[in-house]
Chain A
Amino acid sequence: MIISVASGKGGTGKTTVATNLALSLDGDVQLLDCDVEEPNAHLFIHPTIDRTEAVTTPVPVVDEKKCTLCGKCAEICQFKAIIVIGETVLPFHELCHSCGGCVEVCPEGAITETGRELGIIEEGHRNGLRFAHGKLRIGEAMSPPLISKVRSLTKPDGLTIIDAPPGTSCPVIEAMKGADFILLVTEPTPFGLYDLELAVGAVRVLDIPCGLVINRSDLGDDKVKEYAEREKIPILMEIPFDRKIAEAYSRGNTIIEAMPEWEQKFVDLYEDIINIVNKEGKQTS
C-alpha cells in the first residue's frame, strides 16, 4: 500500500506527519521523501545511508562529421533544446526534456545521447524503517524525472509512505499518482484553505481517496472544517499548536520523541486510512 502525504501549501506539516507516521508503525515500512527540491525527512529520521546513486537524464550529442545540417532535429524539438545556427547544431541540455525525438528523427544517425545530472538518490534505513530520498542538483529545473526515480524504489509489499512536494503541478502529481491514499495536511488559515482546495482538485483528477490532517488546528478559523464537511473529506487528525512540538521540530525531533503519547494516535491514523482504503476499494469493485 502507498500513502502519499501532500498539502498544496508549503510548510503545513507534511514532513512532520510523514515521519511520525513512519516511525510509529511496526513491520514492513518504507519512507520515500519525494520533495526533491527541499528534502527534509532525513533531518528527522537520521537514517544510515547505504547507497548513493547519481541520477541522469538523456540529452543529445551531435556528431558533426555525420551531421548534414538538415534541421530535422530542431524541427521536431518542442522545447527549443536543439537549434541549427550557421554551420553548427547546438543542443541546450538544460532545456531538453529527454524525449529522444531528435535521435529518432536524424536521418544520418548523427545524434546519440549522454546524461545530464538531475541530482542524487540516497537509500538507507533506521532500524527496520527503509528510507530513500532524492536531492535535486542546484540549478536543475526539472524535478519530476528525479521524483519518478525515487518512486521506482517502492517495494512491492508492505507500506510505502511518500512525503510529497508542495504545490499542485507536475512534481506533486508525480508524487501522488498511483497512490492508494492521499493524506492532505493543512492549516486552518485562508492560505491553508485556498491551497487545500487546489490540492483536493488535483487529488480528484487522479481519483484517489483522501483524508485530512489539520495542523496547528487552534490557530486560525473554522473554514477548513466547514469545507471538509461540505466536500465529505474525513478529518483524521488534528494537531494543536504547541510550543513544545514547534521547538522539538526546530531541533529535528519528531512529535513522538517529544510526546510519546502521540505514537498511538499515529497508529490509529494508519488504521483509519486502512479502513477507508478497504471500503473505497469495495465500492469500486
Chain B
Amino acid sequence: MKELVIISGKGGTGKTSIVSAFAALAENKVLCDADVDAADLHLIMAPEILERHDFKGGNKAVIDKDKCTECGLCRQLCRWDAISEDFEVAPISCEGCGVCWYFCPEKAIEFPQKTCGEWYISETRFGPMVHARLGIAEENSGKLVTLARQEAKKLGETRGLDLILTDGPPGIGCPVIASIGGASGVLIVAEPTVSGRHDMERVAQLAAHFRVPALLSINKFDLNADEAKAIEDVAVEHNIRVLNRVPFDPVFTKAMVQGKTIVEFDGNSEGNRAVKELWDQTRDFLEGRPT
C-alpha cells in the first residue's frame, strides 16, 4: 500500500482543498487527517463516526496537599517552573517528565496519565477515514499523528485498499516529522509568495532529511507567476518533481462553504481541471511511471 502525504510548510496554501479533491478522484484509498492540531478535512468529508477512541498522551504531576510538607525539592528540580510557591502544578507548564514525582520524599505527588484527545474511524462518501482531535492546549501531537497513520494503514490493509491519502500539518516540527516518516511521497503545496518560497524550501529540506521523495504544485500560481517560477526552480535544485500548477479560483472557497470538494461543486471550473491533471500526475508518480 502506498501513502501520499500532502504538506506545505506554510499554513493556508490549500492542502486540505487539494486533499479533498484527490479524495473525490482517487480510487481504493483510505483518508487520514494528520493535522490533529487544527483538523479541517472532516468539514468537507462529513464523516460518519463508526468508532471513537480516547488518546492517552503523557502524564502530568498533581500534588497532594495533605501529604506535602513544602520542602521545596520539586520546585528546585523542575526545569519548567511548573510548580508555584504554594505548591500547585500548572498543567500547561508541566512537561510530564515525572522528576518531581520520582524524587518527592513524602510521595505526595501523583503522576496520572492524561487523556489528551480522541481518534476516530469513520465512513465517508469517498471511503473510510481515520481522523483525530487533539484536546485544546494539549501536547503529544506527534504521538497522535503516528497513531492516526498506523490506524489508517491497518484499516487500508483490512479492506484491501491501495493508497493512504494523508492531509498533513503545517510547519516542519514534531507533527510534520511524525506525518512524513516512511511515506511513499509527499506533495508540497506552495503558494507563489516570498513566504511561500521560504517555507517550501525548509519543508523540502525536511523531506530530504528523512529521505522521503517530494513533489511540488504551486497553488494560486497566477497571483505571482514570477514567484511561482522561482519556487519551481528551487524545487528542481532539490530534485523535486514539479507537477501541474493550480490557478487562483474563487470556486475553491465557494465549494468549501458548501462543504463540497471542487470536483463535486464545479467540474468544469478552471481550478478543477488543474487539480484533475495534478492528480493524474501524482498517481503516475505513485505507480512508478515517469511524468
Contact = CB atoms under 8 A, between A and B. Distances in A.
Contacts of B194: 40, 43, 250-252
A138 B96 CA distance: 25
Contacts of B198: 38, 40, 43
Contacts of B96: 78
A134 to B, nearest CB: 12
Nearest to A177: B92
A15 to B, nearest CB: 7
Nearest to B172: A37
Contacts of A201: 136-137
Interface of A: 8-12, 15, 37-38, 40, 43, 76, 78-79, 97-101, 104-105, 136, 138-143, 165-171, 173, 177, 187, 189-191, 194-195, 198, 201-202, 205-206, 219-221, 243, 246-247, 249-252
Given A168-B38, A173-B137, A247 B13 contact: no
Contact of A38 (B77, B202, B224): B202
Chain B CB within 10 A, most for which of A167, A187, A205, A247:
A167
Contact of B38 (A9, A99, A138): A9
B24 interface: no
Interface of B: 8-13, 16, 37-38, 40, 43, 58-59, 77, 79, 92, 95-99, 102-103, 134, 136-139, 141-142, 169-174, 176-177, 191-196, 198-199, 202-203, 205-206, 209-210, 223-224, 227, 250, 253, 256-257, 259
A205 B92 contact: yes
A177 B137 CA distance: 11
Contacts of A194: 38, 40, 43
* B138, B139, B169, B171 interface centre (most CB from chain A within 10 Å): B171
A189 B134 contact: no
Contact of B11 (A10, A105, A142, A251): A10
Nearest to B207: A138
A82 to B, nearest CB: 12
Interface of A is mostly: loop
Interface centre among B99, B171, B173, B192 (most CB of A within 10 A): B173
B123 to A, nearest CB: 21
A202 B136 CA distance: 6
B38 A100 contact: no
Contacts of A252: 193-195
A166 B172 CA distance: 12
Nearest to A10: B11
B43 A11 contact: no
Nearest to B97: A99
A246 B194 CA distance: 12
| Ranked 4 nearest A-B pairs via Cβ | A10-B11, A11-B12, A99-B97, A37-B171
A142 to B, nearest CB: 6
Identify the interface centre among A139, A169, A187: most chain B CB within 10 Å of its CB: A169
Contacts of A169: 37, 134, 137-139, 141
B11 A101 contact: no
A179 to B, nearest CB: 13
Given A173-B92, A202-B137, A247 B250 contact: no
Q: Which of A101, A170, A187, A246 gathers the greatest number of chain B CB atoms within 10 Å?
A: A170
A165 B174 CA distance: 13
A97 B139 CA distance: 13
Contact of B12 (A9, A138, A168, A206): A9
B256 A190 contact: yes
B13 A37 contact: no
B173 A78 contact: no
A166 B171 contact: yes
Given A136-B173, A168-B38, A10 B10 contact: yes
B77 to A, nearest CB: 6
Given A10-B11, A171-B173, A219-B253, A101 B38 contact: no
Contacts of B210: 139
Contacts of A173: 92, 137
Contacts of A37: 170-173, 176, 202
Contacts of A98: 79
Contacts of A198: 38, 136
A250 B177 CA distance: 27
Given A9-B12, A10-B170, A38-B170, A191 B37 contact: no
